[in-house]
Amino acid sequence: MGLGDERFRGRLVEIRCVHVKSHGEPEPAALKRPDADDERRVLVTLTADGLALRDRLASVPQSFLHCLGMDPAEAGALRDQLAALMTKIG
């Protein structure tokens, strides 16, 4: 289950980040709105807080790999092996 799950479709108005402003309300990291040209599409825009959050989190994947002692190629190979295993076991 994730944000793409059918049960969430049309219900998510904004994504909230963990940063709380002084007035106590979380600021949205992203806003979504219907596409005026195509009602099947939804446009998602990062707010200033969302852009800052994206920048702060940009190093997370590399830090995660470093903690595992893996380089990106090894992580990709592991991902492929796990995908193949999941396909085999259904």
What is the per-residue pLDDT across 24-52, written as a single tens digit (0 to 9) for each?
667 788 899 999 999 899 999 999 988 99
SS3 20: strand
> Residue 12: which H helix or E strand, with range?
none
On whether the CB atoms of residues 17 and 27 are closer than 8 A, the answer is: yes
Whether the CA torsion 63, 66, 71, 76 is positive or negative: it is negative
pLDDT in tens, 5-31: 444 444 444 444 445 455 666 778 889
- C-alpha span between 8 and 21 (Å, rounded): 27
